[in-house]
Amino acid sequence: MDTFSAAVMLFLIMDPLGNLPIFSSILCHIEPKKRRRVLIRELVFALIIMMSFLFAGEAILNFLNLRTESVSIAGGIILFLIAIRMIFPQPGGVVGLAAGEEPFIVPMAIPLMAGPSVLAALILLAHTDSDRMLDWTIALLAAWGVSAVILLFYKVFTKVLGEKGLTAVERLMGMVLVMISVQMFLDGIANYMAHMSQSTP
């Protein structure tokens, strides 16, 4: 895989367009003057986390005695809870924050931006071809940069769609997230069962 292909793959997995309704729903409960600062902070946190997994993800999981299946299962559970709140809105938005309360790392940085699929892909890239870490770093920065620009201009998309349109998109994305979260969970379970069956004599 070349650098461009890796960047496109990571961008598609990050899915900034799909995250727009969720980010907008979270940010609308924060004071307008703080929204951009919060968004930039969460994007930077996501980049730091993804860089950490690219260079040390496999070592971190080994140190904690965790397998990549754990990342998939945990991410699936978190996404499922977020999706339920998107489909059935509650006061405080999809993460149940009080008006004016800022999200911190969860759920914007993790798992929405730096989700289990992205982290697993980064670990896989580093594991399969560790001699090309510069290429993978450039690919990650490119994918993150384009995603960040899209999310920073979420207001433009909000104006185009309108309040009702954004609500409809949010409900639709909630349904999609339910399916994605269940798939993540099932993939984690399937990979774990396959690993256990291979290790059993």
C-alpha distance from residue 135 to each of 125, 142, 159 (Å):
10, 11, 37
Q: Is residue 24 part of a domain?
A: no
Which pLDDT belongs to residue 136? 95
**Region 135-156 average pLDDT:** 92
Q: Is residue 21 part of a domain?
A: no
What global pTM score does this model have? 0.69
For 183, the token pair is 């798939």
114: helix, strand or coil: coil
Tens digit of each residue's pLDDT (9 = 90 or more) over 56-107 = 877 877 787 877 777 778 777 877 877 787 777 665 455 555 555 677 788 7
Domain extent at residue 189: 3-13+32-94+107-199
Rg (CA), the chain: 17
Q: Is residue 125 part of a domain?
A: yes
Strand partners, 106: 104
For 104, the token pair is 């911190």
pLDDT at 166 over 70: no
pLDDT at 163 over 70: no
Q: Is residue 48 part of a domain?
A: yes
Q: Is residue 18 part of a domain?
A: no
Q: Is residue 52 part of a domain?
A: yes
Measure the CA–CA gap between 42 and 37, rounded to whole angstroms: 9
Q: Is residue 165 part of a domain?
A: yes
Q: Is residue 20 part of a domain?
A: no
pLDDT at 138 over 90: yes
Overall number of domains in the chain: 1
